[in-house]
Amino acid sequence: MKIWGYSRSSAAFRVQIALAIKGLSPEQAFVHLRKGEQRAPDWLAKNPAGLVPLLEDGPHVIPQSLAICEYLDETRPLPPLLPADPASRARVRAIAYAIACDIHPLNNLRVLQYLLKVLKLDKAAHDAWYRHWIAVGFQALDRTLGEPETGRFCHGDAATLADICLVPQVFNAKRFYADAELDAYPRVMKVFANCMALPAFADSVAEKQPDYET
């Protein structure tokens, strides 16, 4: 097994958490997004989308962080990343997708670079864009985490795919929000703190990855 990633990629961060929960330590390889290595012909031949992460497991080559997490859960089922019953699985997926599909893409590196370099937004407008979409997403997420199915984590008292998505997104938000501002989302931050008390989350942060640069 081999995982391709980049320490500052929140999508790669998700997969690092999933691997840690599963107790897996695959070979690691890196694609430096800020240097543009994702646009190299050899990388595009491997992953036409030019993104990370990418998992190689024997003959299987799997892009997209959530697809990788679910593949790991199906092939290495313990401990599970999704609950056993269909309704609970749907709720966990709904939270995970709300983060990965609705919030994260709008503050992804390539989107932010397009705003600055192509649309020529100034820094203030760029930052306002980022903060706006975090606020919209976190307001909805905090309301969702007020549902009775939420426990210490997004769903119940065990970390799931939803938490794997939540933690990297909070780290993203911390780039443009002071910690005191994030107190406006108390349920999000409570789940975040509970996750970060687990080694699988704490050991997967960017600073602990082999390719981390300050």
Between helix 65-75 and helix 161-173 the angle, nearest 10°, is 150
Q: Quick one: how far is CA 180 from the chain centroid?
A: 22
**Signed CA dihedral, 153, 154, 160, 163: sign only:** negative
First to last CA, the chain: 28
Q: What is the rounded CA–CA span in Å between residue 170 and residue 172?
A: 5
Contacts of 213 (CB under 8 A, 6+ apart): 7
Model confidence at 179: pLDDT above 80: yes
Q: Both tokens of residue 211?
A: 């390719």
Note the pLDDT tens digit of each residue in 87-140: 999 999 999 999 999 999 999 889 999 999 999 999 999 999 999 999 999 999
For residues 149-154, give the mean pLDDT. 98
pLDDT at 39: 93
pLDDT at 197: 98
3-state secondary structure of 184: coil
Model confidence at 214: pLDDT above 80: no
**Signed CA dihedral, 177, 179, 183, 188: sign only:** positive
Q: Provide the percentage of residues in the chain whose pLDDT is more than 90.
A: 97
Structural domains for the chain:
2-79 (3.40.30.10), 86-201 (1.20.1050.10)
The overall average pLDDT reported for the chain is 96
pLDDT at 61: 97
pLDDT at 9: 96
Contacts of 184 (CB under 8 A, 6+ apart): 138
pLDDT at 146: 98
CA nearest neighbour of 76 among 27, 19, 28: 19
Q: What is the rounded CA–CA span in Å between residue 83 and residue 150?
A: 13
Q: Where are the beta strands (DSSP E) in the chain?
A: 2-5, 27-30, 54-57, 60-63
